[in-house]
Chains A and B, each alone.
Chain A
Amino acid sequence: MSAGTVTVSAAGLAESASPVLELTEVTKVYPGTPPVHALRDVSVRVQAGELVAILGPSGSGKTTLLHLAGTLDRATSGQVLVTGLDVARLSDRQLAGLRASSVGFVFQQFFLAEHETVLDNVADAMLYAGVSQATRRAIAAEALARVRLGHKLTARPTQLSGGERQRVAIARAVAGSPAIVLADEPTGNLDQHTGAAILDLLEELNRLGTTIVVVTHDQAVAGRMRREVRMLDGRIVSDAASQPAPSAAAAAAAASPVAPHPWDGEPR
């Protein structure tokens, strides 16, 4: 079903001249007594088609960084460019428009609407993009098929397992084909096995062309990403390509002798 849906974004990789996300000497200070310096002089760029892990201990500023990148908050100083647009120069309305069209979020807590069907939860991703409901649903069904939930369209989130819920949330994040998907601890509420399956899914979506930034404090999770940005105390302490350990995928597969790709086929 994924065949021919998207041509792998060789174009995105080639366009290294204009990164999807570019932070330059960004600081974020939360006012208070004493003020909290959550980010100090952070500079990072993410090119189209990348799969980036942001790793660091609790309180190191990962979520803050993700919120700034997703235009949910504004930097105290420095420049944040999303799809080449300077966040500081955009109005609240324009930022909302940017989020609606170009940014997808995945949260640790899923944030699904329990009274709506899985299909409508995903369709709502494009609610503020001026797309008709019929089109939204068609796109949502396709996105759900991509996360192997095509058979659960009419289910309610309350009838899903934790892993399935996060897959719904991921489908919602990628449905509108955003320029970048920002995931904050997407496996934080899941057991190791389900978490590994979610990472497999993110990797697959990335192979299909989606630019993804994943925040985690789990070294094992970060180890599977192609690039690893390490944070400590509001600073980036290292930013390097990591060689995904083949053993990680193998270990995940080994942990599940019944189904090598846990989401494949029927519900477990």
Chain B
Amino acid sequence: MIAISPQSRSAAARLRPADLARLAAVGLRTRKLRAALSALGIAIGVGAIVAVLGLSSSSAAGLNAEIAALGTNLLTVQAGQSFTGATAELPLAAPGMIARLPGVYEVQTTAQTSVNVYRSPVIPSVNTNALTVDASTLNLPAASGTSVAQGEYLNAATANEPDCVLGAAAAQLLGIDKIFPGERVWAGNTWLYVVGILKPDVLSPDVDSSVLVGYPFADKYLGLNGYPTTIYVKAVDSQVNRVYNLLAAQSNPENPSEVDVSQPSSALVAQADAKSAFNTLFLGLGAVALLVGAIGVANIMVISVLERRSEIGLRRALGATRAHIRIQFLSEAILLAVIGGAAGVLAGSLATAIYAHGRGWQTVIPAQAWAGGIAAALVIGAIAGLWPALRAARMSPTQALWTI
């Protein structure tokens, strides 16, 4: 006959880890629906949290990818405020000076005129839509981060003519989505013929809402004083930081403090990483669901301990210590919660993947979201199961074996 070895008849009972794992699953296997329902709260909580964190990371990844595609080497120079508080002007020589900086390979400028643009002369002149005509150098789109969607950009010939190119937002405000031959807009006292429409400019919203004409035309007919409003500077990637630091002094050597230098991509990166108020709201809701889930697990474990009193008594008679009973019920609660947490991570990730796919973003589930979700479920299971497990272990064997 098979006999238990003498060594195993040691004074203290023990339970193998594999057997503990099986014991932890007993309550869940025998009451599947109940287990599923009580894990649901935790699944919803973890799912909401994972989805919120996943969506915000994915959208940030999407925006960052867009920024990376545009490049982070665009720097802009604008006039700041003078010492007295009045708006300063950039020196006429600034673009030329900047172009001389090592590492700079492109300098383009725009200059704002005081001329407003309308769809037609019958529109009342107060309805400007805040659209003004800006003079532009001839290679602006490549520098500012956009390209031509329709038609073509200004060239040496059209820069002298009453021809204009519309920024994406300007085109939309004017109600022009297609260029027909002879398409024109009213610029106060002259018609401007539309020769091109730009794609949306993520990095330079100013270009987006501009109606752009050539400098020669603006000088002649729109009373431009010639001072640039914004200088768009492209530097080679390795020199961006150095150029950034030199730009103010190079643009206006006499009053460097009257110059505003910025890197549009860095502002966007910050915006991409910013958490919206919605995130906070949904995270809060997720936390509430987790709390409700924890109460559900605790409730189910209390009931389970009451129902399984004779099982507890039998196990004590078979040689289970109090610690064995405690760890069995604690493991069951943790298993229940972790299954809920895992289901939540899956659901939250799936929701994120579907939404991100729809938006053309890369799906990003931050490690702290899924690992944190599982860890939170584990901790919740341990806390929720602790009291029921202690209660089960406290029962005396004879008390547990009572049947009525």
Contact = CB atoms under 8 A, between A and B. Distances in A.
Interface of A: 5-6, 67, 70, 72-73, 90, 92-94, 96-103, 105, 107, 109, 111, 113, 115, 124-133, 135, 138-139, 142, 176-177
18 contacts: A70-B317, A72-B317, A90-B11, A99-B317, A100-B319, A103-B317, A105-B318, A115-B26, A127-B19, A127-B318, A128-B318, A128-B320, A129-B13, A130-B13, A131-B4, A135-B4, A138-B2, A139-B4
A-B interface, 3 closest residue pairs, ranked by CB to CB distance from nearest: A100-B319, A128-B319, A96-B321
A109 B310 contact: yes
Given A72-B316, A131-B8, A96 B403 contact: no
Nearest to B10: A97
A216 B52 CA distance: 66
B30 interface: yes
Given A72-B397, A100-B319, A93 B3 contact: no
A94 B11 contact: yes
A66 B382 CA distance: 37
Contact of B318 (A99, A109, A115, A139): A99
B1 A142 contact: yes
Contacts of B320: 96, 100, 127-128
B344 interface: no
Contacts, number: 117
Nearest to A208: B1
A126 B4 CA distance: 9
Is the interface on chain B under 10, 10 to 19, 20 to 34, or 35 or more residues? 35 or more
Contacts of B9: 101-102, 129
A100 B2 CA distance: 17
B401 interface: yes
B398 A72 contact: yes
Given A96-B319, A127-B318, A138-B2, 11 more contacts: A72-B396, A72-B397, A92-B322, A97-B11, A101-B13, A102-B9, A115-B30, A125-B318, A128-B13, A128-B315, A128-B319
Nearest to A126: B4
B126 interface: no
Q: Is the interface of B mostly helix, strand, loop or mixed?
A: helix
A135 B2 contact: yes
Contacts of A103: 317
A6 B1 contact: yes
Interface in B4-23: 4, 8-16, 18-19
Interface string B287-330: 00000000000000000000000110111111111111000000
Contacts of A101: 4, 8-10, 13, 319
B1 A96 contact: no
Contacts of A102: 9
Interface centre among A5, A6, A98 (most CB of B within 10 A): A98
Contacts of A67: 397-398
A42 B219 CA distance: 121
A33 B115 CA distance: 103
A130 B14 contact: yes
Nearest to A85: B11
Contact of A97 (B29, B316, B319, B396): B319
Contacts of A124: 318
Given A113-B311, A115-B29, A93 B321 contact: yes
Contacts of A93: 12-13, 321, 323
Nearest to A146: B1
Contacts of B314: 107, 111
Nearest to B14: A130
Contacts of A128: 13-15, 315, 318-321, 324
Contact of A96 (B12, B19, B311, B313): B12
Given A72-B397, A111-B310, A127-B19, A94 B12 contact: yes
Contact of A72 (B4, B30, B401, B403): B401
B38 to A, nearest CB: 18
Nearest to A4: B1
A158 B393 CA distance: 28
B24 to A, nearest CB: 13
A114 B1 CA distance: 28
Contacts of B30: 115
Contacts of B319: 96-101, 127-129
Interface centre among A72, A99, A128 (most CB of B within 10 A): A128
B238 to A, nearest CB: 64
Nearest to B15: A128
A36 B314 CA distance: 25
Contacts of B3: 177
Nearest to A94: B11
Given A70-B317, A96-B321, A128-B324, A107 B401 contact: yes
Contacts of B18: 133
Contacts of A130: 8, 10, 13-16
Contacts of B321: 92-93, 96-97, 128
Contacts of A94: 11-12
Contacts of A139: 2, 4
Nearest to A112: B314
A249 B109 CA distance: 116
B12 A97 contact: yes
A94 B319 CA distance: 9
Contacts of A177: 3-4
Contacts of A98: 11, 319
